[in-house]
Every structure is written in structure tokens, then in C-alpha cells.
Structure 1
Amino acid sequence: MKITLPNYQESILNVTNSFLRHYKAKHDYPSLPELDQVLDNHSFNHIIYVLLDGLGMNVIEEHLQPNDAIRQYLQRPITSVFPPTTVAATDAVLSGDPPIVNGHIGWVQYYQEEDVHAVVFQNKDFYTGDVFSEDLRHKYFSFETMYDKINKANPTIQTNEFFPSFREGGSETFAQQIERVLLTTHNTDQSFNYVYWIEPDLTQHVHGTSSKETKAVVQGLNQDFTSLINNVDDDTLVVLIADHGLVDVDIIPLFEYHDVTTHFIRKPAIEPRVTTFYIKEGHESAFEESFTTHFGSYFDLYKTSDFLEKQWFGEGEIHPNLMQCFGNYISVATSLSMFGLHEGKGYKAHHAGLSAEEMMVPLIIYYNQKKVK
């Protein structure tokens, strides 16, 4: 497995900062020169910012032809953030800040003050399924969104977001999202629009990256994207990225290794390919020995303090509530393996590790170059 680190000069985080720069809004991180050049040299009344969950460079290159629109307008690959997973990556995009600053690092975050393993986007406990009465994500890790920042600098810009049907009023299909965003741009003077769709992530989790099912979904997304760019007005810029890619994995049933789990003070958190462990006082050496014996060929294990010094979560002041989410140790996959953290959760492919397949995502830029000045 080729190790690929996040590049916070050339990442999805920097795409958002280019848009914030364009609107003269507050931004604390570098913008992306290729996108800056387009924004500086042309006049757009509308921007459509599309994020397709799990559309890594690997599935683009495997399932699409060079003349397909997604590949045709590919500017170049860029990196995700760390970990390359939906919670960390999409909230880096929505905030313009890296995970270390906005506090969103993974699917499951342990809140010590509540003593719960929160599924961040679902507001329930990962291990028990209990739904929380209070929105813990908002309580501990609310942030100023890119819409907030744009509206502060440019109150006349209409900002919109288009989500799937897991949100009230959301779309059932990517094609429906496209219809809605086109209707908006055709009927407003100036707008900034964020479109998030859940595929091809869901299909890859179930069927793998190279499956016929994934191929069909990726080709369908390309058809919908083609429809989008064929129907935008000449004053519209379309930028498409992904939050992460996926890689086919083997599952290691962590809780069957009792000489490892006996050292746990509580169950692990974050992600199956980047995991934080909470170890009983005085058991650290025994845990390290057992972990290395069983998993040393598949994962690197770090003391949390040493891991944070690497700044893989990004640079900046750590969110004041984030340290409560970390245990004594953090492991990172250096192979095509993941920990099985939940019974009944089988996956053909996953993400959040450091492979190129997980880390490298597209920067796709489209506008009518013949007519836009």
C-alpha cells in the first residue's frame, strides 16, 4: 500500500478557501492557485460546488473513459484531509478549517463529558444505538460555515445547500439535486450553491471499488454531471470534488482478541482504519505488546501526544473540546485492513487510512470558456 499524506496546500480544504477568498470572506488557510486563477480572470454570477461522497481518483480512472465529462474536465488530483473520511472531510469543506480546528475527526467521537460514543452525523451512540436528547455535535463542535462567512462579506449573495433525503426536504437522487440547483441558478441574480450527494460511497462499502455495481453508479453520476454542465448558464462555474476515496479491505474482528481488549477502559472510537484506544492506567506496556504482536503488520500504533505532533489533522489551534475525544493511543492502517468495531457491520471497501486510493480525489472545473469573460 502506497502511503499518501494530506497536503494542506493542495487539498479539498483549499478549494473552500479559494471560494472564501473570491468573496473576500474570512479565511485562515491557503487557497488553490488553479481555482484562484479561474475566479480572478472571469466573472461568475453563480457557483455550484459539488461534493460526491467517495468519488476517489481510483474509481474515476477505473470506471470512466477519458472523454467522459468527469475525466474531461479534471483539472488535477488533490488530497483529502486526514482522516480521509466523510465527517472530517465534509466538515473541513463546509468550515474551511482543518479537522484539528473544527473538531470533526471521524464517524465516532467519544465525548468524555457525556460518556458516550457519538455517531457524529446521527446523534446516537455507536455501540448502544441510544439516541441523544441533545444535539451533541452542535453542543461541542459547532462552527462557522462557509455560507456564514460568505454572507457576512457579501449579503447579496444567495447561499444554498442541496442534500439527500436524509435531511428534511432533501433529494432522492443526484439528478433531482441537479434539477433543483439549476432552477435556483436560473432564477436568482447571484448565488453560491453547495451540493452533497452520498454516492458512490454507499455502493463501494457494500460491493467494493471494482464491482459492476460501483461501475454503474459512477457512470450514472457522470451522466448526471454531464446534464448539469450542459444546462448551466454561461455565467456559472461548476467545481466538483470528493471527500475521500475508498479501498477494498479485509476486516480484523478486534473484539475477538481478548489479550488486547482486556486493557480497554472503554471501547475505541474514530474510524475502523484510524482508531483511538482508551487504556487502563498501568496497562500501557502490555497493551502495546499485545497490539504489536497481533496487528503490527497492519497498523502503526502511536501514543496520542506523539501522533498529534505530526499535524496530520492539520495545522492550527486545537479545538478546545477535542482532546476529550482522544484516548491514550491512535492506530493508523498501513495495510488494506480495518478493525471490525461493530457486530453485523461488514464492508467490502472502506476509508480513513493513508492509501493513495483513500487520499487522492479530483478537482474538476467546468465553465463555458468560449463565452465567459
Structure 2
Amino acid sequence: MDELLRLVPTVGYGDDAPADRRGGALHLSAVLPALSAAIGHPAPTKVHADPKACQRALGLPDAESAIVVLVDGLGYWNLAMRLGHAPYLRSLMNESANQRPIATCAPSTTVAAMAAFGTGTCPGLTAMAGYTQLEPASHKLIQLIQFKDALAPKPANPHIPVPPMVDPLDLQREETVFEKLAAQEVRVTSSGLPKFSKSPLTEAALRGTDYQGNVTPRDRVLAAARASRTPGLTYLYIRDADKVGHNYGWDSEHWVAAFEHIDAQLALLKRSAPKGTLIVIVADHGMVQTDMDQRIDIAVEPQLTRGVSLVGGGAALADAVCRAG
């Protein structure tokens, strides 16, 4: 895996064509602008001013209806190295557009990548730059999945929701591509777990859709397929790879089982969606398995915490908040 990652070129933002494999349209943030052009309702953003150029660079055909599936944590190399377990995804890899990865943002943690994906921009514009980050008004760490105090003790009753520290719409002020499409009176539907319908992360990064919540993966897939009978855009979220990968590692048997289940869901979506529906499958980030002896624990290295008041970000990319002076 390490050797493969070293071969991936740096990709910038923007609408450049991928002639040298570094074009800015080969980026997670370009996917929704490209799809807006593909369905005939271009929605430019501050980063991607030419959605049609994004569409061409990503190789997407025109279509009346499109489904974009975001598989949390299923990076290109994770997919490529386990293709034997995924007959449907393996069949897609023969297409030229699928034989090279696109880039995600930095940092690539879910909250930052989701916001870059949903707005078609970047963490510097969305103000969502890590799993946790400094909330300037309170000088506390805010956790951006639930927009809560990252260091607060767990509530006595976990079933009582904790109010967010900050209004998600106040922190993340960029208009989402979904909102831009809805303003053009385009049908925009999300299919996901019911609990994510009005979650702070959804409100911040993915607002602007008609959210349809279903408990089972099958029902979520079928809901997305039904929605695509009407022209417009459908968003389907699948979290299996990320959840299992964090708990057991992406090279575990548990992850392989989840990957096989994801492949089955995607094959069901293909069978169930109306003929002519454009289906695009992306991930917010991939996963690597690191050696314990290569990890640095800031908490046990006094020289790394000298002058530091808070440590935010995430395990892959930490942010140090320094004391004044």
C-alpha cells in the first residue's frame, strides 16, 4: 500500500482537464458540479466555475436522472486490492474512466471531505477542516460529526440529543450543490439512515435535498432507485466500510465482509434503477493500516506539547492550538 500511495500525483482544485493526470477536475469536489452539468442544470461553485468542464474531465455522459453513491471510507486502492470480493465493482473497472483514482481534500477526514463534496469547494471555504477543531468563541474543541464539545463527558442518557455548540449553517456558509439545484427546481433526493436526516453534519454539508430515511440497506437502495424514476439527482450514502474499518482495520475479515455487502448493494441499485440512469460511485477517503511502532502519541511526548493548549484535527492529521506568546 505505501508503495502505491507514493505513485499518486498531487491533484489541485479547479476545472483543468486531466491531460497530465493532475487536472483539478479529478477531485471529489468536482463530482457534484459535473453531475449538475450531466443532468442539464449546471451549478458552478467558487472552486469549479465550469461544471461542463468537470463533466468532460470525469467522463460522465448526459442523463435525465443521476444517482451519486458515496461509500464512506472505500478508497481507490482499498477497492483495487480487494476486487476479488466484489464482482459488480470489478466489472466496472474495465471502463477507462474508472482505471485511475481521483483525489480527495486535505485533510481527508469525513467531515472535511463531506463538506468539500457537498459544496463543490474546499475546507478553506467550508470552515470544516478536521474531525475536531477550535471553536473560537468558546476556545473549546468542537467535534464536527455532531457539532458538540469534543472534550465534554458523555451524557448520562445517550438517548437525549445534545444541542450543537454552533449552528451548522453558521459555521458552514457555502451553498451546497443540492441547494443550487433545488433553486433551479430540480428534484434532489437523499437516501440514508433516518437518524442522519437532520443531523448537524447533514445540515452543514449536504443540506438542500428531500431526505428519505430507511432503516435497512436494501430499503435505502430501493428508495434511491425509485426516486431516480423522476429526472433529477439522487444521493445515496453507504457507511459500512468506514464503520468496520475504524473498528477492525481495513485488512480484516470484518472489512472484507462489509465490502462484499457494499458490492451487493451497488449491484441491487444497478438492477433496480431505471434504464438510462447515470450512476456514479465515489468515496470521501480511503484507509491505511499503520504499524503501532510508527505512531506518535503526542500525550506521552512532553516536547511536543510544550506551549500547546489544545490538540484537534484527527489521528491522521493533528492540529496544535498554541498558547499566546
Normalised by the size of structure 2, how large is the TM-score?
0.77
Structure 2 stretches lacking a partner, 5+ long: 14-23, 155-161, 198-211
Cα distance, 1:138 vs structure 2: 2.2
Q: Is the 8 A contact 1:64 1:219 kept in 2?
A: no
The equivalent residue for 2:256 is 215
Q: Secondary structure at the match of 1:49?
A: strand
- The aligned runs of 1:238-317 (5 Å cut-off) are 238-249=279-290, 250=292, 251-264=295-308, 266-282=309-325
Aligned partner of 1:82: which letter? A
Residue in structure 1 matched with residue 44 of structure 2 by the alignment: 26
Q: Distance in 2 between matches of 1:14 and 1:159?
A: 18
Q: Structure 2 vs 1, CA of residues 66 and 221 (structure 1 numbering), >3 Å: closer, same or farther?
A: closer
CA contact (8 A) 2:191 2:234 kept: yes
Cα deviations across residues 81-110 of structure 1 (Å, max 9, x unaligned)?
Answer: 111221111111111111111221111121
Question: What is the CA-CA distance between 1:261 and the residue it aligns to?
Answer: 2.0
Q: Say which of 217, 231, 236 aligns to 2:277.
A: 236
Aligned counterpart, 2:71 = 52
Distance of 2:111 and 2:164 partners within structure 1 = 21
Q: Which segment is superposed worse, 121-130 or 83-92?
A: 121-130
Q: Corresponding residue for 2:192?
A: 163
> Aligned residue for 1:200?
241
1:50-100 CA distance string (max 9 Å, x none): 000001122212222397211222323211111122111111111111111
For 2:170 and 2:153, the matched residues in 1 are separated by 19
1:91 corresponding residue in structure 2: 115
Q: Which structure ranks higher in relative contact order (CA pairs < 8 Å, sequence separation ≥ 6)?
A: 1
Q: Select the structure of larger CA radius of gyration.
A: 1
- Fraction of identical pairs, as percent: 20
Q: Please report how far the alpha carbon of residue 113 of structure 1 lies from its aligned counterpart in structure 2 after TM superposition.
A: 1.4
Tell me by how many angstroms 1:258 deviates: 2.6
Partner of 1:174 in structure 2?
Answer: 217
Aligned pairs (5 A) from 1:124-203: 124-129=148-153, 131-132=162-163, 134-152=165-183, 154-155=184-185, 157-168=186-197, 170-186=213-229, 188=230, 190-203=231-244
In the other structure, the counterpart of 1:290 is none
Q: Distance in 1 between matches of 2:222 and 2:68?
A: 15
Return 5+ residue gaps in structure 1 as ranges.
Answer: 283-373
Distance 1:122 1:61 in 2: 32
* Letter in structure 2 aligned against 1:117: L
Query: How many Å separate the matches in 2 of 1:176 and 1:248?
Result: 32
Map of 1:297 onto structure 2: none
> How far did 1:235 drift?
2.8
| Cα-Cα RMSD | 2.3
Q: In the comparison of the two structures, how many residue pairs are matched?
A: 273
Give the 3-state SS of the residue equivalent to 1:176 in structure 2: helix
CA distance in 2: counterparts of 1:181 and 1:20, whole angstroms: 17
